[in-house]
Chains A and B, each alone.
Chain A
Amino acid sequence: MIFLLPGLILFALFFLGPMAYSLRISFFEWKIVHPERSIFVGFENYQHALSDPIFQRAVLNTLAYTVITVVVKMILGLSVALLLNQQLPGRTFFRVAYYLPVITSWVIVSLLFEYMFNGQAGLVNYILKDFLHLIPKDILWFADEYLTLVPIILLDIWKGIGWAAIIFLAGLQAIPAELYEAARVDGADSTTQLRYITWPLLGPTTVFLVVVLVIGGLNAYVPFQLMTNGGDPLDLTHSVLTLMYEATFGRLDFGYGAAISYLLTGFVFVISLIELRLMRQRAD
C-alpha cells in the first residue's frame, strides 16, 4: 500500500479531482466568476457538439490527420530503424540526427513550416513551380481547407519519425540474432526474413506504438492552432482540441469546451482499450 499511496494521492489530487470537476462543468452553462450561478443544462452541451457542423468537421480533420500521420510514421520509422539496426559507419550520429526533430519546440517548427510553405515566395512553392515545374502557379497553402492540412501533417511526420524509429530499433534489437542465422542457413532472402521473422516478432512493439501515436494524434493541438490561426479558413480546419480551446478560452463557453474534451477522452479511451486488447492477443 505504501507503494501505491504517493502515486494515488498525486493522481487523485491533480488528475482525478480535476477530471471530476471538468465533468461537472460539462453539464452546465458555466459562469467562471460565480460558479454557483451556473445553469444546469444536462446533456445539452454534448448534443450541441454532436450536431455542430464545425465540431463534425474538426472530428474528420483529426481522424484524417491521425490515420495519415500514424501510418506514415510507422512505415518510415520502421524503415529508418531497419537501416539503423545494421552495422553501418556513423550509426550513433544517424540516431541522434533522426531524433533531433523530436526535441525541437513545436512553436518554432510550426513557424518554420509556415515559412517554407509561404504562398507567395516560399521554398516549397519554389521547388514545385520553378524547379520541378509541377505546378503552373504559386499555391496558397494556408488559404485552402484541404491544402492547409498538408504542412500540418508533414510537420507531424517530420517531428515523429525519429521517435517511432527509436522504439522500433529497440524492438528489433530484442529479436535474437540466431533466428536470422538459421533462416540464412535455410536460404531465406532478406524479404522473406522481414516477412516471417522481423514483422511477427515486432508485433507488440507495433501495437504499443499505435496506441501511443493514436492518442497523440487525436490530441493534436499546437500545430493546428499555430498554422490555421484556429480554424481558418471558415472554421473548416479545426482539430477537436483547437475547437475545445477556442470554445473555452476564446468564447468563454466553458461547458461546451468541457463537453468536447469529454467526448474526445471517451473516444480515445475506447480506441485505446481496443488496441490494448489487440496488443494482448498478439503478445500471447
Chain B
Amino acid sequence: MNRKSQRNFDKVVKLTVLALGLGLVLLPIWYMIITSFKPQTMIFELPPRLWPQVWTLKNYIAALGKDKFGLYFLNSAKVAVISTLLTVLISSMLAFVFARLRFRGKETLFYIFLLGMMVPPVMLIIPQFIVAKWLNLFNHTGLILVYTAMNISMQTFLLRGVFENVPRDLEEAALIDGGSPWTIFWRIILPLSWPGISVVIINTFLYSWEEFAWANVAIKNSSQRTLPIAIALFQSEHLTEWGQVFAASLVALVPVLIIFIIFQRHFVQGISTTGLKG
C-alpha cells in the first residue's frame, strides 16, 4: 500500500466511525421527527417502527393553528433576543473589569459571581418571585432580568478568559492617545472578542428560549406567555396530544438551530480564545 492509498483508507475508516456514531446520535432525533408526523392513534405504537405506516401533517396544522401559537413564538423571540443582548453587554463589562482592572478583593468578588453558575435555579424561584412582586415585574421585563441574572456568571467566566487573551499593546497605544477605559472596551476589546461573544450568544439564547420553570410562575397574563409554556399546555391531566407536542417542539427548535448555524463558525474559534484560565 502506498502512502496515498493508506491515507484514503484512513479517511474511509474515520468516516465510517463518524457515520456509525451519527446513527446512534440521530436515532432519537429520527423518532422525534416521525412521531410528529404520526396520527395520534399510533404515536407510541409498540413494537416501535422506524418508518410510520401513515404520515400526516395534522399535528403541525393543529399545533401551529392553536389560537396564540404565533404570539407565543414572538414573545419567546423577544424575550430571548433582549436577554441575550443584555447578557452580552453586562457580562462583557464585568469580564472587562475582571480581566483588566486591578482592585482589592477582585478575585473574591469573581468567585462570588461564579457561585451564580453553581446554584440550582429552582432553589431561587420563590425568593425571586417575591422580588418580582415587589418591583411589579410579572411581565417580559421580569423574565429578561432574571434570565440575564442567571446567565451572567457563566458568561462572565467565559468572557474573562477571552479578554485576557486580547494583546495589551493595543490598549496601551490607545491609553497614550488619551482613550478612556470605555473607549478601550468599546473600540478594542469588544471587536477583537467577537468569537467569544458568539459563544455567549448561543448559550444565552438557548437558555432563554427554552426556560420553563420561571416563565411558568412569573407570567400570569396568558397573552404574555412564552413558547415552552404553550407547549406544556398541550398536556392536560388525562390526555396529551403527543403528536402536537412533538410537532411544536420541532418548530421551536428551528430558531435555536439557525442561531447555532450562524454563529458556529465563530463558536469553534471563539471557545479556543477563552484561554480557559481559572
Chain A–chain B contact at Cβ < 8 A: yes
Q: Interface of A with B (CB < 8 Å)?
A: 2-4, 6-7, 10-11, 13-19, 21-22, 80, 83-84, 86, 88-89, 94-105, 107-109, 111-113, 115-116, 118, 120-123, 126, 158, 161-162, 166-167, 169-171, 173-174, 204-205, 207-208, 212, 215, 219, 221, 241, 244-245, 248, 254, 257-258, 261, 264-265, 268-269, 272-273, 276-277, 279-280, 283
| Alpha-carbon gap, A12 to B90, bound state (A) | 14
Query: Footprint of A on B, CB under 8 Å?
Result: 11, 14-15, 17-18, 21-22, 24-26, 28-29, 31-32, 35, 44, 46-48, 89-91, 93-94, 96-97, 101, 111-120, 122-124, 126-128, 130-131, 145-146, 148-150, 152-154, 156, 181-182, 185, 206, 210, 228, 231-232, 242, 245-246, 249, 252-253, 256-257, 260-261, 264, 267-278
Closest 7 CB pairs of A and B: A18-B127, A170-B271, A121-B46, A21-B127, A14-B149, A174-B272, A204-B276
Q: Do B278 and A116 have beta carbons less than 8 Å apart?
A: no
Q: Does B271 contact A167, Cβ atoms closer than 8 Å?
A: yes
A103 and B127 in contact (CB under 8 A), knowing A3-B185, A108-B32?
no
Task: Decide: B245 and A13 in contact? CB cutoff 8 A.
Answer: no
- Are B31 and A115 neighbours in the complex by a CB distance under 8 Å? yes
Asked if A97 and B26 make an inter-chain contact with CB atoms under 8 angstroms apart, the answer reads yes
Report chain B residues within 8 Å CB of A122: 46-48
Residues from chain B with Cβ under 8 Å of A96 in the complex = 257, 260-261, 264
With a CB–CB cut-off of 8 A, which chain A residues contact B228? 105
A163 smallest CB distance to B (angstroms): 10
Judge whether B22 and A94 touch: CB under 8 Å: yes
How many residue pairs at the A-B interface have CB separations less than 8 Å?
227
CB closest chain-B residue, reference A100: B29
Cβ A208 vs Cβ B127 within 8 A: no
A268 cross-chain contacts in B, Cβ below 8 A: 118-119
Contact of A7 among B93, B114, B268, B271 (CB under 8 A): B93
Bound-state CA distance A173–B268 (Å) is 8
A16 cross-chain contacts in B, Cβ below 8 A? 112
**A-B pairs with beta carbons under 8 Å apart, 7 shown:** A10-B145, A18-B131, A104-B28, A166-B271, A173-B268, A245-B122, A283-B277
Kindly provide the distance from the CB of A131 to the nearest chain B CB, expressed in whole angstroms: 12
A-B contacts besides A83-B18, A205-B276, 13 pairs, CB < 8 Å: A3-B93, A7-B152, A14-B128, A103-B253, A104-B32, A105-B252, A121-B47, A122-B47, A158-B24, A170-B271, A173-B269, A207-B276, A215-B118
On whether the beta carbons of B275 and A118 are closer than 8 Å, the reply is: no
Most buried by B among A97, A116, A162: A97
Query: Given the complex, which residues of B lie within 8 Å of A208, measured CB to CB?
Result: 274, 276
Partner of A6, one of B90, B124, B260: B90
Whether B120 lies near A261 (C-beta < 8 A) is yes
Closest chain-A Cβ to B49's Cβ sits at a distance in Å of 10
Q: Is the CB of B25 within 8 A of A161?
A: yes
| Interface SS, B side | helix
Which listed residue (A2, A83, A101, A245) contacts B25, Cβ 8 A?
A101
**Given contacts A118-B46, A265-B119, A268-B118, is CB(A101)–CB(B28) below 8 Å?**
yes
SS of A interface (majority): helix
Assess whether A4 is in contact with B93, with CB atoms less than 8 Å apart: yes
Given contacts A10-B149, A89-B15, A96-B260, contact A3 B116 (CB under 8 A): no
Q: For B126, what are the chain A residues with a Cβ–Cβ distance below 8 Å?
A: 21-22, 254
Q: Find chain B residues with CB under 8 A from A111 CB.
A: 242
User: Are B127's CB and A10's CB within 8 A?
Assistant: no
Contact of A17 among B131, B257, B273, B275 (CB under 8 A): B131
Cβ contacts under 8 Å, A248 to chain B: 122
CA distance A248 to B260 in the complex (A): 36
Cα distance, A112 to B113, chains bound together (Å): 36
Question: Which residues of chain A have C-beta atoms less than 8 A from B148's C-beta?
Answer: 10
Chain A's closest residue to B36 (CB) is: A108
Bound-complex Cα distance A91 to B118 (A)? 34
B28 near A112 (CB under 8 angstroms)? yes
Residue from B22, B24, B232 with most neighbouring chain A CB atoms (10 Å): B22
- Give B135 Cβ to nearest chain A Cβ, in Å: 8
Instruction: Report if A277-B44 is in contact (Cβ < 8 Å); known contacts: A3-B181, A108-B32, A245-B122.
Output: no
Q: Evaluate contact between B48 and A276: CB separation under 8 angstroms.
A: no
Bound-state CA distance A169–B113 (Å) is: 27
A279 touches B277 (CB 8 A): yes
Residues of B with C-beta under 8 A to A98: 21-22, 25
Most buried by B among A4, A18, A257, A277: A18
**Which residue of the partner chain, among B101, B116, B278, contacts A280 with CB atoms under 8 Å?**
B278
Shortest beta-carbon distance from A137 to chain B in Å? 15
Bound form: Cα–Cα A189–B35 in Å: 47
